[in-house]
Copies of this chain bind each other. A is one copy, B any other.
Amino acid sequence: MIQDVTDNEEIEARIGRLRLLEALLFASADPLDEETLAGRLGEGADVPALLDELRRHYAPRGVNLVRTGAGWSFRTALDLGPQLRAEEEVSRKLSRAAIETLAIIAYHQPVTRAEIEQIRGVVTSKGTLDLLMEHGWIRPGRRRETPGRPLTWVTTDHFLDHFGLETLRDLPSVEDLRAAGLLDSRPVLLGLSGGEEAPARPPAPAEGPEPG
């Protein structure tokens, strides 16, 4: 495999290049073509030979070095696919509306759907609450004792679990959010409150000016 080695120094250099090649391919988000790799490995690197050595090293392992149209990359071994994907469920990004709805339920619970809509200022799409409930983050709470007896929504233990909270009381308050910079504070108008904080002062003289 290593035919052109003449001395220890050369072996070391080759191992160094192999290690760098391995790390470059591992850390790259995209497949790397041989030209790019040659640029990174520097003069005197026989990139095709190094790639071949690496490919053969990984061939029997759980991770393989594969060549795709764009270049070379590590992928998990094809035959392990079924075991890796045993419980496959591609992770999805939750929509902004769903995150916001969840946040409002967390902070305002128990809260009815109408209240959520009032707070958000938009109609809650049918699927949003279903989605949050399906995922086990919210559940129906008690009915509100008002006309129509609307259902309220509350968060679940799974919600606490997911977000690493011990209790709901550990949710940062609005003040905490503001202090942490998650809420830009709007300008505050100071000194325009009423007279509560006015210092005690003798009442202004009541007697009006005597007309002359």
CB contact list, A126-185 vs B, under 8 A? 126-131, 133, 139-143, 149, 151, 164-167, 169-173, 176, 178-182, 184-185
Having A128-B181, A139-B164, A143-B169, one finds 18 other A-B pairs with CB under 8 Å, namely A20-B62, A20-B83, A22-B61, A23-B83, A24-B84, A26-B76, A27-B76, A124-B179, A126-B179, A126-B180, A126-B185, A127-B181, A130-B181, A140-B165, A143-B170, A151-B170, A151-B173, A151-B176
A211 adjacent to chain B (CB < 8 Å): yes
Q: Name the B residues within 8 Å of A182 (CB-CB).
A: 130
We find that the number of chain A residues with CB closer than 8 angstroms to chain B is 58
- Per CB-CB distance, the 6 closest pairs between chain A and chain B, nearest first, are A22-B62, A19-B62, A130-B181, A23-B62, A127-B181, A23-B76
Q: Please name 21 pairs of A and B residues whose Cβ atoms are closer than 8 Å in the assembled complex, sorted by A.
A: A18-B62, A19-B62, A19-B80, A20-B84, A21-B62, A22-B62, A22-B63, A23-B83, A26-B62, A40-B86, A126-B178, A126-B179, A126-B180, A126-B181, A126-B185, A129-B181, A130-B180, A130-B181, A143-B169, A151-B176, A200-B212
* Cβ contacts under 8 Å, A178 to chain B: 126
Whether A14 sits at the interface, judged by CB under 8 Å, is no
A45 at the interface (CB under 8 A from B): no
A199 at the interface (CB under 8 A from B): yes
Shortest Cβ distance from residue A165 to the other chain B in the assembled complex, whole angstroms:
8
Chain B, residue nearest A149 (CB): B169
In the assembled complex, A67 has its CB within 8 A of some CB on chain B:
no
Whole-angstrom distance between the Cβ of A157 and the nearest chain B Cβ: 9
Q: A15 CB to closest chain B CB, in angstroms?
A: 8
What per-residue 1/0 map shows which CB atoms of A84-116 lie under 8 Å from chain B?
A: 101100000000000000000000000001000
Q: In the bound complex, do residue A61 and residue B19 qualify as a contact, i.e. CB atoms below 8 Å apart?
A: yes
A72 within 8 A of B: no
Check A38 for interface membership: any CB of B closer than 8 A.
no
